[in-house]
Amino acid sequence: MSNIIRFTYYRRIQISFLLLILLPTIVVSYINFTVTQSNVKEKIRLSNEALVGLVAKDITKMIDGLTYASNHFVQDITVQDELRRFMNMKRIETSADYFTYQKIKSILSVSVANSMNTDMLMYVVNNEGFIVISTESVALNYADILRQWEDIKPRIHPEKPNMIQWLGTVKTGSDQQQEYMVSRVLTADHETLGTLVMVIPDKYFNKLFQQIQSGMLALYDIQGDKIAGHAGVSLDAEDNLNGNIRNEIRIEKSGWKLVYETPKQEVVGEISRSFYISLLLIIPCFIIFILISIFVAGRLYRPIRELKKGVKEFGNGNRSIRFQTKGQDEISHLAETLNTMLDQINQLIADIEQEQEQNKVMELQALFSQIRPHFLLNTLNSIKCNLVLDNDIVHSQKIDSLMSLLRAYMKFNEPSTLKSECKLLAHYADIMKMRNDIPLEFSVDIPKETEDFQIPKLLLQPLVENAFVHGFEEDIEQPWIKVSAERKDQELLISISDNGVGLEDERMQDMNEWLQQPKQEPSSSYKSIGLNNVLQRLRMTYGPYASMSLNANAYGGLTVWLRIPIQTESGSEAPKNPLVDEGKLC
């Protein structure tokens, strides 16, 4: 201490400046760094809490859907009667067995639709081990489902009837996809009717978790086993050695735990980098300042006092504080450096807040877009169920036809088969008969070898629509529409015929000439957007050799012919639609 006192006046000024400026600046910067880091973490934690709540709410809705679907089997007397007829069935041997099988399958399909989870699979296993599956459009075959049943059978407690049992995960199929299993033992009058199994595939959780752009999500069941999510997220908070921001929520109805972690580096990495860069800039400036302070010590007193005052205000939470940068001396450079650091910190906080808000909005938009298309279908399906329960078969069939058309419109860009397209046309004709009050007979005649031929979805619907709109403008006795197909050489011929009012010869000739060159306008005033749409889709799918023509038939009506080449340019047959055979999962 005596040596310091014997220093010259300027040396003592240098030491004083060092103690009063450099050290406080570093300390305040560090305090600001830690306070800013803590505030950012807290804001992100609160934002993540809301985000986890949204995901948990979605999972809770899915669990409610499972509970509602399973209650249908327990509480509906009609369903119990069907299960009694099915409980000891070993195979389908009679027509009554087949109708029972189809009835249970229809009930399963309705239950899946009511669960609002189209990715879910349901099946019922009776006392003889015979299985009825809700849908046949899943990736699993019957052998996979049998192996799956054998895996979960020991986990089921028969002594706990009419109670949802959470069985954990199993790996199913050739790709060893992980699926979560839920079961419910079905009883009535102390009699075991079978077991309802509900399968939640891994892709449901993947789609749910992929909506979150940042952070890591994981879902654990009540036994502590991971259901789905990121491998780096642990069940216990003590295992979070990296200091990640962690949010947990317990889903009460199932006992599951949803854990969301945001890596610490993503949150405070930029703040830390700015802090250390600022230190690297500040320290050299102070070294230079010390070297020249002997000559300018007298002029530095006032800027130092202002700088000290500003640092204190910033340390007290005044984020709008900025230092004046007059002149070109070291204090001015220091002030500029501190201002830059403060601007970067404030901008970083604003960017993080804006990003979290945008992620929340995008999450809500994704949830709403997922709900909108299925809300109408689920509502129609509920109406259909009520009509079936009231034995109103006619209107329930109309609702079923309308739902089939809506599903087709939602999946317009997906390919279809000739057989599926004809089924869809039957639904369309059913609706048009009711709408136009026409006692029309609709028939389909396609050979079995052409059923699986792949065509664009809704390709034939405009042609049938033209028959309704233009062919039956006048009252026709016993009206009918017929769809037929045949394979001739290397072409598939499809015809749509009716016994309507037909078309004048001159107009038919004009239309056929126009169909050969559809880019030109027809010579008459008669135009058809539907015909042009069908022809353009034909040629875009099968090439320039696909064609369409109009012909009068012997019944006074009109026949539309579609010619589709079966061979590709290489000479091989066009690939068939790889649909699952409807009988394989029975």
Cβ pair 400, 384 in contact under 8 A:
yes
Rounded CA-CA distance 306/535 in Å is 81
**pLDDT value at 564 more than 90:** yes
Least confident of 184-193, 244-253, 410-419: 410-419
Mean pLDDT over the full length of the chain: 77
Structure tokens at 352: 């993080």
Contact 304, 331 (CB under 8 A): yes
Q: Summarize the confidence of residues 71-88 as an average pLDDT.
A: 85
What is the pLDDT, as a whole number, of residue 303? Answer: 67
pLDDT greater than 70 at residue 32: yes
Residue in 309, 320, 389 with CA at minimum distance from that of residue 399? 389
- Asked whether 29 and 294 are in contact (CB, 8 A), the reply is no
11, part of any domain: no
CATH label of the domain that carries residue 172: 3.30.450
Query: Could you tell me which residue, 578 or 357, shows the higher pLDDT?
Result: 357
Is residue 35 one of the residues assigned to a domain?
no
From residue 160, give the alpha-carbon distance in Å to each of 272, 382, 427. Answer: 56, 30, 43
The domain boundary, picked from 177, 205, 233, lies at 205
- The pLDDT value recorded for residue 369 is 47
Q: Which has more confidence, 391 or 348?
A: 348
Q: How many domains does the chain have?
A: 2
Q: What is the DSSP letter of 567?
A: B
Check which CATH number belongs to the domain holding 518 and give it: 3.30.565.10
State the Rg of the chain over Cα: 37
Instruction: Give the separation between CA 420 and CA 455, rounded to whole angstroms.
Output: 10
**Nearest-angstrom CA–CA distance, 154 and 170:** 13
**CB hemisphere CA count around 129 (13 angstroms):** 10
pLDDT at 526 over 70: no
* Residue 421 reports pLDDT greater than 60: yes
3-state SS assignment for residue 552: strand
Contacts of 124 (CB under 8 A, 6+ apart): 73, 83, 86, 104, 108, 131, 132, 186, 194, 195, 196, 197
- Top-confidence residue, 514 or 522: 514
Parallel, antiparallel or unpaired: strands 216-220 and 177-188: unpaired
Burial of 439 (0-12, 13-18, 19+ CB in 10 A): exposed
The residues pairing with 231 across neighbouring beta strands, listed in sequence order, are none
Question: Is the pLDDT assigned to residue 191 strictly greater than 70?
Answer: yes
Q: Is the pLDDT of residue 371 over 50?
A: no
293-306 pLDDT, tens digit each: 656 555 555 666 67
Q: Which residue has the higher pLDDT, 549 or 176?
A: 549
Q: Which range among 46-50, 140-144, 177-181, 361-365 shows the weakest confidence by mean pLDDT?
A: 361-365
Digit-coded pLDDT (tens) for 151-169: 888 989 888 887 888 888 8
User: Are the CB atoms for 133 and 585 separated by under 8 Å?
Assistant: yes
Cross-strand pairs, 260: 217, 247
Pairing of strands 415-417, 454-456: antiparallel
Is residue 284 a part of any domain in this protein? no
Q: Is residue 485 over pLDDT 90?
A: yes
Report the pLDDT value the prediction gives residue 14, as an integer from 0 to 100: 63
Give me the mean pLDDT over the 429-451 stretch: 87
Query: What per-residue confidence (pLDDT) applies to 484?
Result: 94
Share above pLDDT 70 across residues of the chain, in percent, rounded to a whole number: 77
Query: Which pLDDT score is estimated for 558?
Result: 92
Domain assignment present for 12: no
Higher pLDDT, 296 or 572: 296
415 vs 409, 418, 455, 496, CA distance in Å?
12, 10, 6, 20
Distance, CA of 159 to CA of 105 (rounded, Å):
26
Model pLDDT, residue 54 = 85
Residue 382 and residue 401 in contact, taking contact as beta carbons nearer than 8 Å: no
User: How high is the pLDDT of residue 573?
Assistant: 45
pTM listed for this prediction: 0.42
Structural domain range at position 480: 392-565
- The pLDDT of 305-333, averaged and rounded, is 71
Per-residue pLDDT, averaged over 259-268, amounts to: 78
Residue 1 or residue 28, greater confidence: 28
User: What would the mean pLDDT of 84-99 be, rounded to a whole number?
Assistant: 88
Place of tokens 């952070």: 215
pLDDT level of residue 494 (50, 70, 90 thresholds): very high
176 φ/ψ sector (left φ>0, alpha ψ -120 to 50, else beta): left
pLDDT digits (tens, 9 = 90+) for 374-384: 556 566 666 76
- pLDDT exceeds 70 at position 387: no
Query: According to the model, what pLDDT value does residue 531 have?
Result: 85
Q: Which residue, 304, 299, 318, is CA-closest to 24? A: 304
Q: What pLDDT sits at residue 334?
A: 75
Residue 385 has pLDDT above 80, yes or no: no
* 257 assigned to some structural domain: no
pLDDT at 560: 94
Written in H, E and C, the secondary structure of 346-400 is HHHHHHHHHHHHHHHHHHHHHHHHHHHHHHHHHHHHHHHHHHHHCCCHHHHHHHH
- Sheet of strand 121-125, all strands in order from the earlier edge strand to the far edge: 131-133, 121-125, 191-201, 177-188, 165-172
Q: Is residue 356 part of a domain?
A: no
Whole-number pLDDT of residue 362: 56
Does 71 reside within a domain?
A: no
| More confidently predicted of 578 and 361 | 361
Is residue 133 assigned to a domain?
Answer: yes
